[in-house]
């Protein structure tokens, strides 16, 4: 069995961005595309990560690479394989990069052997696939061990770090020290924001590229209220919707129906008129599902008639996150131990992952159904779910951490929580928006405008093309 798995990448017309950009910006974009097409003629731009589904990195690659292909760049996507100990270790590294202890394990020589032995078959296979004239973008810690062998072959390599923390700690520096020998040989290091840049890296190699969303993808495309209701009815979260059809458009423009049901823990079904507070996250302690639920029960439920929907992926489908099942079980246990009147207004949803675009359409429908979107993370690299909620013109209550604070202008396009662990402040912020619909509406409109100007895929594509030109010319 092959160690490296190829992900099929589509082709999307970059011309569709013309409808979202002013003429001057679109002309600059077209010029960058033309230069890159000429520069990369005969070359492949490879992207390597550890999973094709689950999490913002995989979601961004789906669209970004399809637009690159549409622009005439040969962009490909490969996924490494690994052992259970390897993914347990890389989850520990992920937590440490966020200054969280995770499972509390070490990052010593024994762990280095686990890391390198798991990557060895991936290295042997992938290095033979790549030619010296190609470019490789290595995403996050899991495949970082591929960088040095690729450089020895003469390949231009970019390392993209999607995670980070504003103020480093002993734990985050420990993770840096573990990864540094694998990362340093790269030609460029891409971080989401300046505060995430590791101490001691060559500053001349640093590039800052904030994540973006694709306005035309299944997760962000326009859906009518009737379609939203129909999709949620199909998932089992809302009652039957006689007026709508649960249809979305796939990446290639073909229509598709949502057919799969979610796994739901709830005290009662969500009714069409119920106000909804929503958090979309992986089942990860750094996303604080326990705090989101408890803060809602204590601070929002007594003041409003809103329901909380906490939705995450089906944990059996996310191979590189071994903690997901455990965290979901913790959330379900909390739900089951709450009083009956609280359970009637809580909905824990494990969204099916069999079809990635169907999953995205369900998330889209949930976000458009929400009155207030929440992202009360304890740590966050960037938080694309914030931009997604903002794009749907929803007010977002989120932690003042990581890239979230780059997206939300506090009090204008959302509400930032100074202390993510302050459940009282979280409950007050959410309740305040639910009880003031006009303020919530104005905030949502400002949020959508901000995403249109700053966080759509065209900007990121231009930055990557410029960086590739820089390191290859």
Contact 343, 335 (CB under 8 A): yes
Query: Do 201 and 103 share a structural domain?
Result: yes
Q: What confidence tier does 322 reach under pLDDT thresholds 50, 70, 90?
A: confident
Q: pLDDT tens for residues 415-432?
A: 999 999 999 999 999 999
Q: How many domains does the chain have?
A: 2
Q: Is residue 235 assigned to a domain?
A: no
Query: Do 270 and 131 share a structural domain?
Result: no
Query: Do 152 and 111 share a structural domain?
Result: yes
Query: Do 463 and 427 share a structural domain?
Result: no
Mean pLDDT across 355-383: 94
Query: Do 199 and 58 share a structural domain?
Result: yes
Query: Do 270 and 203 share a structural domain?
Result: no
Query: Do 146 and 278 share a structural domain?
Result: no
**Rounded alpha-carbon distances, angstroms, from residue 294 to 297, 306, 335:** 5, 14, 9
Q: What angle do CA 30, 32, 35 make, to 5 degrees?
A: 110
Query: Do 270 and 165 share a structural domain?
Result: no
Q: What confidence tier does 172 reach under pLDDT thresholds 50, 70, 90?
A: very high
Q: In the predicted model, is pLDDT for residue 272 greater than 80?
A: yes
Q: In the predicted model, is pLDDT for residue 6 greater than 80?
A: yes
Q: Is residue 251 assigned to a domain?
A: no
Distance of CA 363 to the CA centre of its chain: 12
Q: What is the pLDDT of residue 96?
A: 94
For residue 408, what are the contacts with CB-CB under 8 A and spacing of at least 6? Answer: 386, 390, 396, 398, 414, 415, 416, 447
Query: Do 299 and 322 share a structural domain?
Result: yes
Q: Is residue 89 assigned to a domain?
A: yes
Q: What is the pLDDT of residue 244?
A: 85
Mean pLDDT across 205-224: 93
Output 393 or 16, whichever has higher pLDDT.
393
Tell me the residue ranges of DSSP E strands in 314-354.
346-351
Query: Do 111 and 94 share a structural domain?
Result: yes
Structure tokens at 461: 């594509």
Query: Do 401 and 380 share a structural domain?
Result: yes
Q: In the predicted model, is pLDDT for residue 319 greater than 60?
A: no
Q: What is the pLDDT of residue 25?
A: 83
Q: What is the pLDDT of residue 105?
A: 93
Q: What confidence tier does 239 reach under pLDDT thresholds 50, 70, 90?
A: confident
Q: Is residue 356 assigned to a domain?
A: yes
Structure tokens at 142: 């899991």
Q: Is residue 255 assigned to a domain?
A: no
Mean pLDDT across 60-86: 92
Q: Is residue 176 assigned to a domain?
A: yes
Q: In the predicted model, is pLDDT for residue 318 greater than 70?
A: no
Mean pLDDT across 165-172: 91
% of the chain residues with pLDDT over 70: 98
Q: Is residue 329 assigned to a domain?
A: yes
Q: What is the pLDDT of residue 52?
A: 83
Q: In the predicted model, is pLDDT for residue 28 greater than 90?
A: no
Q: In the predicted model, is pLDDT for residue 321 greater than 70?
A: no
Contact 396, 403 (CB under 8 A): no
Residue-number span of the structural domain to which 132 is assigned: 5-212+457-472
Mean pLDDT across 233-253: 87
Query: Do 106 and 166 share a structural domain?
Result: yes
Round to whole Å and give the CA distance between 197 and 148: 20
Distance of CA 324 to the CA centre of its chain: 15
Q: What confidence tier does 382 reach under pLDDT thresholds 50, 70, 90?
A: confident
Q: For 55-64, 135-144, 161-170, 291-300, which range has the lowest pLDDT when averaged over its residues?
A: 55-64
Q: Is residue 241 assigned to a domain?
A: no
Mean pLDDT across 359-384: 94
CATH number at residue 426: 3.40.50.2000
DSSP string over 42-105 = T-EEEEEES-SSSSHHHHHHHHHHHHHHHTT-EEEEEE----HHHHHHHHHHHHHHTT--TT--
Q: What is the pLDDT of residue 453?
A: 84
Q: In the predicted model, is pLDDT for residue 55 greater than 80?
A: no
Q: What is the pLDDT of residue 1?
A: 77
């Amino acid at each position: 069995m092959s160690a490296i798995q190829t992900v099929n990448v589509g082709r999307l017309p970059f011309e569709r961005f013309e409808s979202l950009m002013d003429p001057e910006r679109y002309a600059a974009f077209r010029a960058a595309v033309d230069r890159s097409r000429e520069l990369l003629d005969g070359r492949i731009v490879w992207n390597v990560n550890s999973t094709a589904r689950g999490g913002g990195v995989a979601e961004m690659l789906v669209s970004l690479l399809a637009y690159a292909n549409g622009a005439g760049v040969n962009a490909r996507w490969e996924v490494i394989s690994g052992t259970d100990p390897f993914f347990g270790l890389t989850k520990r590294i992920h937590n440490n990069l966020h200054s969280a202890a995770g499972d509390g394990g070490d990052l010593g020589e024994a762990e280095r052997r686990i890391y390198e032995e798991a990557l060895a078959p991936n290295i042997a296979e992938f290095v033979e696939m790549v030619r010296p004239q190609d470019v490789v973008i290595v995403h996050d810690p899991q495949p970082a061990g591929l960088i040095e062998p690729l450089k020895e072959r003469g390949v231009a390599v970019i390392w993209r770090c999607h995670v980070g923390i504003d103020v480093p700690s002993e734990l985050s520096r420990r993770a840096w020290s573990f990864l540094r020998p694998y990362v340093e040989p790269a030609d460029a290091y891409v971080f989401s924001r300046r505060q995430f840049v590791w101490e001691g890296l060559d500053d001349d190699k640093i590039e800052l590229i904030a994540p973006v969303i694709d306005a035309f993808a299944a997760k962000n495309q326009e859906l009518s209220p009737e379609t939203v209701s129909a999709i949620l009815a199909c998932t089992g979260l809302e009652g039957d919707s006689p007026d709508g059809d649960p249809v979305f458009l796939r990446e290639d423009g073909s229509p598709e129906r949502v057919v799969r049901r979610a796994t739901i823990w709830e005290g009662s079904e969500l009714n069409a008129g119920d106000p909804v507070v929503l958090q979309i996250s992986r089942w990860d302690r750094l996303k604080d599902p326990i705090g989101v639920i408890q803060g809602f029960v204590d601070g929002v439920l007594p003041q409003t008639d809103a329901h909380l929907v906490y939705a995450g992926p089906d944990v059996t489908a996310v191979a590189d996150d071994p903690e997901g099942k455990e965290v979901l079980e913790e959330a379900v246990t909390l739900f089951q131990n709450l009083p009956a009147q609280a359970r009637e207004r809580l909905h824990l949803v494990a969204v099916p992952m069999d079809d990635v675009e169907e999953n995205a359409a369900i998330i889209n429908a949930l976000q458009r159904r929400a009155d207030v979107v929440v992202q009360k993370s304890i740590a966050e690299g960037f938080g694309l779910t914030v931009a997604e909620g903002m794009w749907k013109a929803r007010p977002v209550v989120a932690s003042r951490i990581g890239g979230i604070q780059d997206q939300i202008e506090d009090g204008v396009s959302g509400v930032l929580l100074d202390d993510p662990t302050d459940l009282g402040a979280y409950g007050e912020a959410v309740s305040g928006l639910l009880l003031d619909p006009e303020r919530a509406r104005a905030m949502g409109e400002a949020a959508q405008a901000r995403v249109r100007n700053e966080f759509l895929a065209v900007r990121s594509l231009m930055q990557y093309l410029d960086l590739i030109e820089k390191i290859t010319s």
